[in-house]
């Protein structure tokens, strides 16, 4: 089973690369951002609460996203593996994910972190905001808040996987295909080492 955590700041290319990885490996894509936006679109109570935070670039509470992921893991018991995109975003989420996967005897294979400088992140997200309809992509102040949330609360998650020897970092600058090729090689090196 391949269980990949795709990591990086907002706009690093996690969602973009996830689409290519799904095609290549037939994995189930679990994006907490997409799951939350689906709750918002359906107008659920969870979605309404999440929207208030997301529109300001603030992380939603750990228990909300952990509950969503747990539900999705249970609903996909026969999956070949998962891409975790935008999750875990805090150390508490990372610990909860390990506990959930322990019960399924299917640990995280590795984390790949995409490194992109803040000015390029802002440029990409504002560009996407022109037609994505996402309020959090349209406002430079909200984008900077998201990057600050990442630096304060999410960046320490890398250390969590480093202590487990599961962390690999990759430059996220370059064409989408060039970044994908590099990710593909990293995953291949895990297979070779096992």
Provide the annotated active-site residues: 14, 89, 128, 134, 146
Q: What's the min distance (Å) between Cβ of 77 and ligand B4P? A: 22
Backbone angles phi, psi at 125, to 5 degrees: -70, -40
Whether the CB-CB separation of 186 and 170 falls below 8 Å is answered with: yes
- 110: contact with ligand B4P by CB under 6 A: no
3-state percent helix, strand, coil for the chain, nearest multiple of 5: 60, 15, 25
Q: Is 159 helix (H, G, I), strand (E, B) or coil?
A: helix
Q: Which of 2, 4, 5, 12 binds ligand B4P (CB under 6 A)?
A: 12
Query: Taking CB under 6 A as the rule, which mask of x and - marks residues 118-157 in contact with ligand B4P?
Result: ------xx--x-------x---------x-----------
Whether the CB-CB separation of 71 and 101 falls below 8 Å is answered with: no
* Residue 49 vs 162, nearer CB to ligand B4P: 49
Query: Taking CB under 6 A as the rule, which mask of x and - marks residues 42-71 in contact with ligand B4P?
Result: -----------xx--xxxx----x------
Q: Is 31 helix (H, G, I), strand (E, B) or coil?
A: strand
Q: Which residue is nearest to ligand B4P (CB)?
A: 33
């Amino acid at each position: 089973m391949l269980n990949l955590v795709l990591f990086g700041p907002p706009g690093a290319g996690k969602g973009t690369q996830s689409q290519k990885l799904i095609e290549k490996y037939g994995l189930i894509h679990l994006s907490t951002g997409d799951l939350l936006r689906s709750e918002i679109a359906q107008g659920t109570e969870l979605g309404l609460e999440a929207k208030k935070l997301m529109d300001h670039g603030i992380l939603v509470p750990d228990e909300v996203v952990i509950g969503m992921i747990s539900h999705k893991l249970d609903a996909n018991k026969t999956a070949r593996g998962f891409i975790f995109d935008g999750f875990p975003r805090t150390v508490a989420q990372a610990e909860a994910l390990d506990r959930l996967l322990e019960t399924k005897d299917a640990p995280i294979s590795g984390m790949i972190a995409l490194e992109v400088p803040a000015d390029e992140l802002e440029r990409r997200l504002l560009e996407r905001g022109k037609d994505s309809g996402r309020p959090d992509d349209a406002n430079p102040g909200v984008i900077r808040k998201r990057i600050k949330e990442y630096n304060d609360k999410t960046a320490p998650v890398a250390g969590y996987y480093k202590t487990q020897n599961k962390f690999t970092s990759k430059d996220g600058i370059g064409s989408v295909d060039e970044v994908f090729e590099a990710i593909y090689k990293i995953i291949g090196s895990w297979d070779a080492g096992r």
